[in-house]
């Protein structure tokens, strides 16, 4: 099962990437002296556009073979059977095992996918706080 990002979140990264790109292009088109700070807009734009394309391609979470995995660089993964406690606090699920802790920002999850995630987590025999 793949848990998708909220479309508003993904599109926000696209809009910000395009905005920063325009901020970088406008001074270049006007033939103004382009300083070091003006190159910052291109860098910022590139970062946001990379995040956009990454979020479009990859999903926020993957639940496969009894493992929940965050799909971003340095994302955590945890075996579902090792989860002991699930806390719902401040728009986050905090999954705890004896050795690991994983935070899931539910504000980033598409509504349909969030209900699928909740259903999967409810199947686990764990303590909810």
The CA distance from 62 to 13, in Å, is: 21
- What phi and psi values does residue 120 have, to the nearest 5 degrees? -65, -40
Query: What is the structure's pLDDT at 10?
Result: 93
Per cent of the chain over pLDDT 70 is 99
**Residue with tokens 């598409």, as numbered in its chain:** 110
pLDDT band at 19 (very low <50, low <70, confident <90, very high): very high
pTM of the model: 0.78
Sheet strand arrangement including 61-64? 2-3, 61-64, 67-70, 77-79
- Taking 90 as the threshold, does the pLDDT of residue 1 lie above it? no
pLDDT band at 29 (very low <50, low <70, confident <90, very high): confident
pLDDT, greater one: 33 or 7: 7
Condensed to tens digits (0 to 9), the pLDDT of residues 37-77 reads 778 889 999 999 999 999 999 899 999 999 999 998 888 99
């Amino acid at each position: 099962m793949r848990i998708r990002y909220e479309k508003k979140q993904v599109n926000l990264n696209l809009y910000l990437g395009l905005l920063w790109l325009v901020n970088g292009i406008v001074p270049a088109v006007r033939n103004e002296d382009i300083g070091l700070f003006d190159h910052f807009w291109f860098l910022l734009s590139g970062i946001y556009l990379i995040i956009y394309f990454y979020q479009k391609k990859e999903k926020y979470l993957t639940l496969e073979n009894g493992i929940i995995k965050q799909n971003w660089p340095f994302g955590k993964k945890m075996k579902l059977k090792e989860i002991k406690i699930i806390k719902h606090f401040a728009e986050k699920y905090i999954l705890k095992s004896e050795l690991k802790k994983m935070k899931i920002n539910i504000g980033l999850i598409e509504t349909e996918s969030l209900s699928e995630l909740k259903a999967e987590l409810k199947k686990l025999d764990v303590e909810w706080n």
